[in-house]
Structure 1
Amino acid sequence: MTDQSLFDQAFLALQRRRARARATEGADFLLRHVAEDLAERLAAVSRRFSVAVELHGHTGIVGERLLSSGSIDRLIRIETDPLLIGQSDGKVASLETVPLEPETADLIVSPLSLHLTQDTPGVLIQINRALKPDGLFLGAMPGAGTLGELREALIAAESELSGGAAPRVIPFPDIRDAGALMQRAGFALPVTDVDTLTVRYSDMFGLMRDLRAMGMANPLSGRSRRPASRALFLRAAELYAERFSDPDGRIRATFRIIHMSGWRPHESQQKPARRGSATVSLADILKSTSGEY
């Protein structure tokens, strides 16, 4: 890892181990939300998947939910730490690596990790390569606008108190970037869409506790290593409440989840429509590529 790395991968792994050890009840709501959404999308595909891979799902919640759908025969979990895999069938690899032989997986799902990779195009290319022809990739990652309220409150408070602001919330990709990455990686029939989830808290500190419990503490390599002052967080909490609270006094936290779908190219797939012609929904595309061959 070079000094130019955007994310501190060792710190990320540590945060996920700590989150696994804490296992705070209810703090996994975001992964559970994504798990249900991915299960619904998979239900639109009328086929069985002999070998499915959960790529850095952190807790295994997504893999368990997909297994319960009855569409998967075998699930392999890939994580950064053996402690995260537990007794599951799995492999250990960095966020940058997909340790699978070419054309060995029928389905690969990536829940809430792709945005933390240094070389996202390279990871997507590896995923495509690991899929069998006509294999399916389903991904979900936080997108632009996620935690926008927290970002604004922290920047405003720190600028007010010290005249500058250190990066405390990571940058999130735009949906257009996600679509371009899918095309660049060579997926057939790539589709992207956004799901917005708004969660309410009594104050900013409740949100921050959940983020730590999710293993989502700031992993930026360029983050300040000096502990932030109590005054900073108190002022940020005040600004958050002033700008983003509902009439009952509770604050809002926004999570915008970008969903991605793409297939390993196969001659039986429908060809993309002429540029500028009418579009189809994700469900239509999933159904149209899921018949018997």
Structure 2
Amino acid sequence: MAISGGRVTEGSIHTRVLANLQRNIAKGEKIQQQLSSGKTINRPSDSPTGTVSSLQLRGEARASQQYSRNADDGLGWLGTLDNTLSNVSSRVISARDLVVRGLNQGGNDPSSNEALASEIDQIRNTLVGYANAKYLDRPVFGGSTTGEAAYTADGTYQGDAGQTARTVGAGQKVRVDATGPEAFGEGDAQLFKVLKDVADSIRAGDTDATAANLEKLDAAHNLVKTTLSDVGARYNRLEQMKQSAQDRLLTVTSQLSDIEDVDLPKTIMEMQLQQTSYQAALAASAKVIQPSLIDFLR
């Protein structure tokens, strides 16, 4: 029984050899592109699953960077509050010392009383200035107001009860402000009102009223210290959340590098092997494709 075999022509040999060489060149080009870009994924077709993972990780990296920026902004707000309230506390202590001095004098020396009252007035004006402290041109004690100041010169609050918060993690928000009434009180217990009453009672030589106002001043000072403590706690939390965002960013960056970045020594070795393979293929092709009779007749 006769066995028929496929006929291999000179043209088919040429076609197959050129196709194999083309595939070899394409592989070498891909490796060269990876070396040039430093990335194993230069287009989605290079690794569909890797592309999906890369996009997800890049989204997480952007979110972590935004959380870190938000935390920095919040730390700026809370740092301003902390410094301002610390200064307020120091000035209130100075005012208290003056009140105690006035009580010790017994209110019998009008000129001394006037001098003490004037000093307290100056402290009050200074504290109103502190209450109008700003961060990025916004009053930190004004709530969500976009006005120029939280308090008028006479100590009247003109902000609102709105709150300012920053998102510093997935579902994590931290308040970064404190309204004027929360820090300085309101009504007859407001710090600026108490200081005015203290100055008036000292001028009048009314020691009973001065003693009562001293208790109100202590209560207002306690409110300032309580707010300062709360601001400090929020500041610490923001620092922790910022560190968490930065740690997560490092982790995501490392994972992204594992997916996208080339292993340089390994890729260089692959490139050298590919070049050697290509040279060998060229040499083999030269032996397979021999000159035909037509080549001699040309």
Higher strand share: 1
Q: Shorter chain as normaliser: what TM range?
A: under 0.3
> Which structure is larger by alpha-carbon Rg, 1 or 2?
2
> Which one scores higher on RCO, CA 8 angstroms, separation ≥ 6?
2
**TM-score, normalised on structure 1?**
0.21
